[in-house]
Amino acid sequence: MPFRIPIVRLQFNLRWLFYVTLAAGVCAYLATNNGPAEAIGFGIAFALLGLAIVLPQFRFRRPIRCLLATIILLVIWVVGVDRSVFRLTCRHCSLQWYTIEYRFLAQPILVWKTDDYHPSFGQIAEDLGAPCAHDFELWHRNRFWGVVFYCDPCFSGTDGLSETDWYTQDLRQRARQLANAHPELGPKFRAALVEHNYPFIRSVIAQIMANETATQVQPQ
């Protein structure tokens, strides 16, 4: 009998030591891989869970535990689940699109992709026989914490202007004819996209629209 009490206390202490270690490890992982908001939120959830466990026996123990459980779930939902909008933009040809993701701890669960924006330069490079070697840049445009609260990042301005569908199938056919007449034009146009040599890009577009396939286009 005298040896049972120390054994019970040792088991109790080891159980809470394991709990605190687990909570600290999870929060440290979230702080490193997600951010301070997620780490703080889950830290609060672990603290509330510990409080619910150690509540002594009294009349309102069950309703208080239910309240704490509701708060814990709400905190985890807000910091763990989000609706994010990302924009991907090619650094060369300006091709871009948006993706809308529902995520848990930054891991996408459901993803939607919008139509392409500003595809013309990339289509021209493709029709000239030298497709753009896309180099995409990812921008986290918006995040709705808990799918409801509009917090950081929260860009609300205009990030680009829509482009009319000016590069028609007729112009694409003209570009292919121009490429047949000047095979070297495609690699030059692709290099101009990488270098952002817009005078040369505009000269090629003017050449396509004029359908002057017999004229050599030189870089500016």
CA–CA dist 192, 204 (Å, integer): 10
Q: Do the bridges between strand 136-145 and strand 107-113 make them parallel or antiparallel, or are there none, so unpaired? A: unpaired
pLDDT at 150: 86
pLDDT-based confidence at residue 6 (cuts at 50, 70, 90): very low
Contacts of 182 (CB under 8 A, 6+ apart): 213, 216, 217
| pLDDT greater than 60 at residue 4 | no
Please state whether the peptide bond connecting residue 131 to the residue before it is cis, i.e. omega within 30 degrees of 0.
no
Query: Is residue 22 a contact partner of residue 38, using CB atoms and an 8 Å limit?
Result: no
pLDDT at 212: 47
CA–CA dist 126, 214 (Å, integer): 20
pLDDT, tens digit, 9 for 90 and up, residues 156-172: 767 666 667 788 889 99
Q: Strand, coil or helix: what is 23?
A: helix
| pLDDT greater than 60 at residue 92 | yes
CB atoms within 10 A of CB 156: 8
| Structural domain spans, the chain | 4-81, 84-210
| pLDDT greater than 50 at residue 180 | yes
> Token pair of 177, please?
């004819």
pLDDT at 56: 81
DSSP state of 157: S
| pLDDT greater than 50 at residue 10 | no
CA–CA dist 168, 179 (Å, integer): 17
pLDDT, tens digit, 9 for 90 and up, residues 98-151: 999 999 998 999 999 988 888 999 999 999 989 998 999 999 999 999 998 888
Contacts of 9 (CB under 8 A, 6+ apart): none
pLDDT at 55: 83
Q: Which of 89, 82, 85, 87 is nearest to 107 (CA)?
A: 82
pLDDT-based confidence at residue 78 (cuts at 50, 70, 90): very high
Q: Which amino acid is at 69?
A: A
> Token pair of 104, please?
């848990």
pLDDT, tens digit, 9 for 90 and up, residues 15-60: 888 888 999 999 999 999 888 989 999 999 999 998 888 888 878 8
> Token pair of 186, please?
């495609």
